[in-house]
Amino acid sequence: MLVNLRALLVRLIDIILLRGGPEQLPASTGVLALAVVLNVGISALAYSLLSNTPNDWQTMLMVESVVALLGLRAAFSLANKPERFLQTATALFGTSALFMPIVIPMSTALMPYIVKPDPAVPTPAALGLLAMVVGFWLLIVQVRILRTAFEWHWIAALLFFFALNIASALAYGMIFGVPSGAT
């Protein structure tokens, strides 16, 4: 079991370093479930550490995960490639979970500058630049996963990535209304 987890971790790191694609991952519902649970768990930890999170972040996180899974499933069915769903979803959730230990401290450190910006106190340039680079790298990795899985041009994969995120926000808004922390 531990050997299999180590192999999965190595494959996910290869995907993050752009040396591999989702096709290298096992097509297993158990591995997908593990990746989703890890992603949700690490994201829940991130939300619990941040002080200015909405009260209903748990439901937001669940809706985001379910919409991503359903959106991927529907897209692969429409593209006539349903066999690629497990590996692609595992890659997306797994790489996102691996980025969270980097994103959490940066988000926590940048939150005071984002929530109540003070013109007299500028955002630390190095931290802001690092956050931008990490965020852009995560975007590149996830768009590359989608591009490889669907065999699309990178623009189509980028648009689909944003469509999944917008669909999550719309689904949450239609089901639960506007989040209490939003203005």
Model confidence, pTM: 0.88
Domain membership flag for residue 61:
yes
Domain membership flag for residue 163:
yes
Domain membership flag for residue 181:
no
pLDDT digits (tens, 9 = 90+) for 23-62: 999 999 999 999 999 999 988 887 777 766 667 778 888 9
Domain membership flag for residue 183:
no
pLDDT digits (tens, 9 = 90+) for 59-115: 888 999 999 999 999 999 999 999 999 999 999 999 999 998 888 788 778 877 877
Q: What is the mean pLDDT of residues 8-12?
A: 92
Residue 81's domain spans which residues?
Answer: 2-176
Domain membership flag for residue 150:
yes
Reference 109, options 87, 124, 90, 92; nearest CA is 124
pLDDT digits (tens, 9 = 90+) for 111-146: 778 777 777 888 888 988 999 999 999 999 999 999
Q: What is the pLDDT of residue 21?
A: 92
Domain membership flag for residue 182:
no
Q: Which residues of 157-180 are buried (b: 16+ CB within 10 A; e: fewer)?
A: bbebbeebeebbeebbeeeeeebe
Domain count for the chain:
1
